[in-house]
Every structure is written in structure tokens, then in C-alpha cells.
Chains A and B, each alone.
Chain A
Amino acid sequence: MDTAYLIQQLINGLTLGAVYALVAIGYTMVYGIIGMINFAHGEVYMVGAFLSLIGIIVMGLIGVTWVPLALLIVLILAMAITALYGWAIERIAYRPLRGSFRLAPLISAIGVSIFLQNYVQLAQGARPKPIAPVIRGGFELLTSEGGFAVTLSYLQIFIVVLTIALMIGFTYLITQTPLGRAQRACEQDRTMASLIGVDVDRTIAMTFVMGAALAAVAGMMVTLYYGVIDFYIGFLAGVKAFTAAVLGGIGSLPGAVLGGLLIGLIEALWSAYFSVEYKDVAVFAILVLVLIFRPSGLLGRPEIEKV
């Protein structure tokens, strides 16, 4: 096992981690603002992946062959439509239950999750959908004496750069814009936020919209990266992103990003040095350990009782 191999795994892990981070943000934001785990979020990501797949195929059919333009159009459409899904889910399945007991929205979320899986299975078929690689090629960074070549594909660069750009925009949105301020205010005291004139319902809806849009980007990345998707990918990716959010500290945005990257790295390194079959076991073992020993996560604040 030489350094070149390790570097390659780190590159792969970071790419995967970027995808998890984007999904994890959706979990952590929704938890932050209404204190519920949106278990349908993985399925939202899956819907985003399917929309991207369809979009890419349609772009090919209508003859948009310049890849950056095609991807940009697909990205915007996938984000917009998935955001609509996010909005509708909140409106139909969660908002009516907001005043209800704590478990009600959770059960509703599981219902939405099952619904979306079956809906996509019915609409798109149960068989995995392949797609031809859209972004090909890459750099060969270095070759070790053993003949192992470290490659950094253009696709990996695309994924990481897009993730970083989204993170910057997103951080700006949360810290500097009125919407972000309103979200943070609602996170702390929803009643008070409405008393200073903030439309709390709309702010919560926007949180779902933003989370879903980011999940759509992750879905598109995965479609491009693995080249094959099916109606069931949302479950595993969703639980892993949830693990990432918990690891980073649920409710904390930087935590979600950190957690996502760590989970991606752990998964890649575990597959490389131990066994591919048990990579999911490694990830979920971390979920268990974090929940036992550090429930507030790496960057989360400990739960403080409101007086």
C-alpha cells in the first residue's frame, strides 16, 4: 500500500463526502428549524437524481451537445423541480402536523419516504437506470513505482468545485440575507419571530425548498459519478447523510459539511484498506458510537432547555 493509493482514496472519499454533505445540510437545517428528522429527505435526493437523469437524456435528444450548457440547464431544472417536491412535502405531510405530538411528523416522513420510493418505482421501473458518462477524462497526477496512477477526473473536480461554490453561496444566504436571518430567528424562537412580523410558515417552507434544491444537486452528482441509479438509492444515501449530520452535530451547518466529508473519507478508506462489503457497517458503527459518546456531535451545541 503506497502513498499514491492513499491519495487516490482521499480524492475519492472527498468527492463522495461532498455529495453526503449536500444531503446532510437538508437534514440539519430542517432539524434546526422545526426539530424533526425529515426521513423523506433521502427520497428527495433520489427524485433529484432521477430528474437529472431524465434531464440529461432529454438534453441529448434535443441536441444540446455542449456539455457545460446541458449540465447547467439540467442542474437548474432538477433543483427547481426537486425544490417543488420539498415544498409540497412540507405543505402536505408536515405542516398540518406541526402542532401535533412529536412522533407524528416523523411517522408522516416515513410515509412520504415509502410513497416516493414506490411512486418512482412505478413511474420509472424497478431496474437500475444507466447513463453514458457525460464528463470524461481527467489528470494523471502521479504514478508510483508500483505502477499505480493517481487520477483526478474532471468529474471529481466538477463535483468538489460545485459543492464549494454552493457552500459559499449558502453560507452567505444564511448569514447575510433577510431569509437566512429569519431562519435563524425561527430556529431560536418561532413565536417571537412571528411577533416581529416574520412569516414563520413561509420561512419553514423555504427551508425545505433550500434543502431539497441542495439534495437535487447531490442527486445529479451521483447520477454523473456512478452512472447508474435506481429508485432505492435514496434510502442508503439518506441514512448516511443523516449519519453525517449527526456526526457533525445536528442543527449545525458547518457540522453537516464536516460530517459529510468525514463519512465520505471513512467510507472510501474503509473500502480501500479493509473490505468493500463492510463499508456501510463502518459508517453506521460511527452513528452508534457518536450517539452513545457524543450525542451533540463534533460541532453541535449541547441541547439547552428553553425556559
Chain B
Amino acid sequence: MSRPLLTVEHLTMRFGGLTAINDVSFEAQAGHITAVIGPNGAGKTTVFNCLTGFYKPTVGRLTLTRPGSDQSFLLERLDDFRITKTAGVARTFQNIRLFTGMSVLENLMVAQHNRLMRASGYSLLGLAGWPSFRKAEAEAVEKARFWLNRTGLIARADEPAGSLPYGDQRRLEIARAMCTDPALLCLDEPAAGLNPRESAELNALLLMIRNDYGVGLLLIEHDMSVVMEISDHIVVLDYGRKIAEGTPAQIKANPDVIRAYLGEDDEAEGAVA
């Protein structure tokens, strides 16, 4: 079997005296949806922040191997923008971070920055309307339109991204992440604030990304209907430690997980579970 897409080994992150993540190891496979779940404050977002270069881990190794190549990247050693550019990790945020003043289409174009920069000779040839730049630009628009179609945003392509309704902004953020050609897509609570219909659409979108593109998805989510329905693999964190790992069925039946979510099984609380 080939190497996993993402290997997290002994990841530990301390902030002064606080240990946000303590010796967490797991793997994420290409073409799989790996969910990271846990109660509030369990350290899920901190894992993402380590993966995407916001934090430099105190201890641990984060290895990303792009499928189809034997090249591995140690994420903790890459400059922040290279994590996306060369290693192919894309991410979305719990509180959406679009370029609100730019149009929907431009948000997707800027995500294809590096390819366009090369094709346009760092914009110098682009300024002269060089053919290779025009071609690359047309392809980029094509790709952006494809994702706008997939996310149902095509009619709003020229509106400022900030004017979209909440659910559309969420999908746009995913579309933008996909436009960077990621190998690993990290989604931080993509279903937060979505109504049941939007959340079902989101599931379909994520499954499509997994099935059609072979992208590995890493998902932080509180909405268990999303997690249990689409995840291939679940990692459970509690107080910065990994307490369980397995398929949705295994996790549902795991007593440690139930205890973490519903509290210690000492008094009447346990009966609820």
C-alpha cells in the first residue's frame, strides 16, 4: 500500500503552560473523508492551524505525500504560502474568510494565482497580452466557472463575494479552496450555520470532491449527521488527546467517545447515553 496522504506523528502544541494538543498521531488517506471531532476546546482547530502553518508545532511531524508522486513535504518546515503552493493543502475557516470586496469569480481566480503568474511571466507578459497568458487566463476562468456550476453560484459570478448569503459564502470558500488544486482539503466546520437542506447539499458536494477528484478531506464538524453520513474515518480528540479512531460505526459504539461528549458516567447523566 502506498504512503498515506497525510501522516501526523506525535503532534504536540503548547502555548506557555497550556498543552492544546498532546501527542496526537493519525493518518488521512487520499480519496477519503477523515473527520476530526471532539467537544469544544478539544484542539481540533489547533490541529488545522498546525497543518496550515499558522502555528509551528512544539513537537511532532506532519508529512504530506502528494498522490502519484513519491515526494513528501514536511508541513511544519514549509513557509506558510508554500504549504498551499507546493504541498497542496487548502483550508476553509469556521468564520468564513472570503475576499469580500472582490467578485465571486475573482475569488476563484486569485486562488489560481501561481499558475497564472507563471503563464503571465510574473504579469509582465500578461501586461502585453501575451498569448500564453490569455490561454491560461481563459482556462482559469473555465475552471472557476466549473466550480461555480458545481456549487450553484454561477448566476452570482460577478457580484461582490461579501454580498452573498451565508450558505453561498460557505460553498464559495470550498470552491476557492478547490481552485488551488489541493491534495488535502481541510474544512473547519463547513456545516456550521447551514439549514438541513443546505447541509445535505454540502454533503453531496464533499462526496463529489472525494469521489471525482481523489482529494483527501479533513473535516472538523460538530454536526453529527454530516460526520456520520460522509466520513470514512473518524478521529476523536478530547482535551488535546486522541481518545478514539475508527469508522463511523466503531465511533458510535465507543464508550470513551460517549463519555467525552456526555460527561463522566458517574451519576444520572450516564443513563441518558
Interface residues of A (CB under 8 A from B): 169, 172-173, 176-182, 184-185, 188-189, 191-200, 307
Contact = CB atoms under 8 A, between A and B. Distances in A.
B99 A185 contact: yes
Interface string B171-190: 00000110110000000000
B114 A177 contact: no
B99 A173 contact: no
B80 interface: yes
Given A173-B123, A177-B123, A307-B95, A182 B102 contact: no
Interface in B116-161: 116-117, 120, 122-123, 126-127
Contact of B120 (A177, A197, A200): A177
Interface stretch (B4-12, B84-92, B218-226, B247-255): B84-92
Contacts of B120: 177-179
16 contacts: A173-B127, A179-B120, A181-B102, A182-B110, A185-B99, A188-B100, A191-B97, A192-B99, A194-B80, A195-B52, A195-B81, A195-B91, A196-B90, A196-B179, A197-B113, A198-B81
A177 B126 contact: yes
B37 interface: no
A179 B123 contact: yes
Nearest to A175: B106
A182 B114 CA distance: 10
B35 interface: no
B13 interface: no
Contacts of B41: none
B101 interface: yes
B202 interface: no
A181 B113 contact: yes
A173 B126 CA distance: 8
Contacts of A194: 80-81, 84
B127 A172 contact: yes
Contacts of A307: 95
Nearest to A178: B116
Nearest to B89: A195
B111 interface: yes
Contacts, number: 88
B111 A178 contact: no
Contact of B180 (A177, A189, A197): A197
Contacts of B81: 194-195, 197-200
Contact of A178 (B54, B95, B113, B176): B113
Contacts of A197: 81, 84-85, 111, 113-114, 180
Interface residues on B, range: 20 to 34
B109 interface: yes
B127 A196 contact: no
Given A194-B81, A199-B81, A200-B81, A188 B101 contact: yes
A61 to B, nearest CB: 31
Nearest to B112: A178
Given A172-B127, A195-B81, A197-B84, 7 more contacts: A177-B126, A178-B109, A181-B106, A185-B113, A188-B102, A192-B98, A196-B177
Nearest to B136: A178
Interface string B70-91: 0000000000110111000011
Nearest to A184: B102
A198 B122 CA distance: 12
Interface string B201-245: 000000000000000000000000000000000000000000000
B97 A192 contact: yes
B99 A188 contact: yes
A189 B113 contact: no
A195 B78 CA distance: 12
A197 B84 CA distance: 5
Contacts of B114: 197-198
Contact of A196 (B101, B126, B176): B176
B26 to A, nearest CB: 22
Contacts of B113: 178, 181-182, 185, 196-198
A72 B52 CA distance: 46
A263 B95 CA distance: 42
B53 to A, nearest CB: 8
A181 B110 contact: yes
A196 B117 contact: no
A199 B114 CA distance: 9
A307 B96 CA distance: 11
B111 A196 contact: yes
A180 B102 contact: no
Nearest to A179: B123
B95 A198 contact: no
B184 to A, nearest CB: 13
Contacts of B177: 196
B161 to A, nearest CB: 10
